[in-house]
Amino acid sequence: MVKLSVIVPFYNVQTYAPDTLRSLRANARDDFEFILVDDCSTDGTADVLRRAQDDIPGAVVHRHERNGGLATARNTGLDLARGEYLAFLDGDDWVAPGYFTELLSRTEALGCEFVRTDHVQVERTNRTVHRVPHGRRDAVTDPRTAILPADRTTSVDYPYAWAGLYHRRLLDRGLLHFTDGLRTAEDRPWIWRLHRRAESFAVLGTLGIFYRRGVASSLTQIGDARQLDFIRSFDQVVRETAEDPDADELLPKAVRTYCAIISHHMSSIEKFEPTVARMLKSQSSQALGRMPQAVLDDALDSMDVQRATLLRRLRRRPAAAKEVTTA
């Protein structure tokens, strides 16, 4: 029986993939499988993965015929996974030796449906520990209670799919798949759904996953139209939260977070290509028009003056006004 399936998408990471694969080799067990999804790479990544399949016990390579993005690649891995537990890793990151065994052991001891873990962010030679924004450690609790309060950073603001371990019953209940085609912020609807619908979770202080930041091929470093998928992502968060039985309590958090992300992108609009920058303004304006307007009013009133002023100006753009009128 396969105890753990680790899903690892790769796309044009020839430079970094060997580190990732060496770390998987140092985590191999007879009851672990490593599902390596090549999302139609155009560099030498495919050759690196072919060699890894022969070198790493439990490794299986699946290649996409077309590039579908990170969300779609993870879904391919989920569809192939046979493990009782599931984990994710990105193709340019790595884990410490024995990390997955320790994580699995601690998760089984707690008996919860999923766990979230701290991680080490790596940017060139700098390493920084990033903690799950949740106070209680090694204690099983209701995931819904970790969504709020609206005006503080909480567990849904720590969306990294690779920072955790997930029981297969979440997959069987349809809670682990990502929205196909999302090129960025794919983990936002995913983490919100987990916290709203899973039955139990815990936070572990286990350090052993290393997140490589500042990679030139990463979408966070590229100012093209794919970055704007955050709008489709957060539209989904707001829409699904509005259907929740506790929508009145949870929507302020969803809307406030959406506003903060729009403000973040607008504050660094110079990184976008000119046509994409115009699209960002227009689509953000329309997004504000789609939000529940009373909840949006309260969210803007609770934000600092600089961000609130920027967002109110966007909200007054003709596109937003039209959206409100026709909604």
Instruction: Give residue 140's pLDDT.
Output: 98
More confident of the two residues 51 and 318 = 51
Beta carbons of 74 and 83 less than 8 angstroms apart: no
Compute the distance between CA of residue 71 and CA of residue 37 in angstroms, rounded to an integer: 11
CATH class of the 4-216 domain in this structure: alpha beta
Instruction: Give residue 324's pLDDT.
Output: 43
Kindly give, in sequence order, each residue whose CB lies less than 8 Å from that of residue 146, ignoring residues fewer than 6 positions away.
134, 154, 155, 156, 195, 201
**pLDDT of 253-303, one tens digit each?**
999 999 999 999 999 999 999 999 999 999 999 999 999 999 999 999 999
Compute the distance between CA of residue 79 and CA of residue 267 in angstroms, rounded to an integer: 39
Q: What is the 3-state secondary structure (H, E, C) of the chain?
A: CCCEEEEEEECCCCCCHHHHHHHHHCCCCCCEEEEEEECCCCCCHHHHHHHHHHHCCCEEEEECCCCCCHHHHHHHHHHHCCCCEEEECCCCCEECCCHHHHHHHHHHHHCCCEEEECEEEEECCEEEEECCCCCCCCCCECHHHHCCCCCCCCHHHCCCCCCEEEEHHHHHCCCCCCCCCCCCCCHHHHHHHHHHHCCCEEEECCCCEEEECCCCCCHHHCCCHHHHHHHHHHHHHHHHHHCCCCHHHHHHHHHHHHHHHHHHHHHCHHHCCHHHHHHHHHHHHHHHHHCCHHHHHHHHHHCCHHHHHHHHHHHCCHHHHHHHHHC
Burial of 201 (0-12, 13-18, 19+ CB in 10 A): buried
Instruction: Give residue 222's pLDDT.
Output: 52
Residue 79 has a CB neighbour count (10 Å cut-off) of 12
**Average pLDDT taken over every residue of the chain:** 94
Sheet strands side by side (includes 209-212): 94-95, 209-212, 119-123, 126-130
pLDDT band at 214 (very low <50, low <70, confident <90, very high): confident
pLDDT band at 306 (very low <50, low <70, confident <90, very high): very high
Helix axes 247-267, 305-315, angle to 10 degrees: 90
pLDDT band at 225 (very low <50, low <70, confident <90, very high): confident
Compute the distance between CA of residue 100 and CA of residue 164 in angstroms, rounded to an integer: 10
Q: Encoding tokens for residue 40? A: 């139609």
Check pLDDT > 80 for residue 133.
yes
Instruction: Give residue 216's pLDDT.
Output: 57
Query: Whole-model pTM above 0.85?
Result: yes
Instruction: Give residue 318's pLDDT.
Output: 72
Beta carbons of 233 and 189 less than 8 angstroms apart: yes
pLDDT band at 203 (very low <50, low <70, confident <90, very high): very high
Compute the distance between CA of residue 161 and CA of residue 281 in angstroms, rounded to an integer: 29
Over residues 146-156, mean pLDDT: 97
- Would you kindly state where each structural domain of the chain is located, as residue ranges? 4-216, 223-326
Instruction: Give residue 320's pLDDT.
Output: 47
Q: Encoding tokens for residue 307? A: 């961000």
**pLDDT of 78-89, one tens digit each?**
999 999 999 999
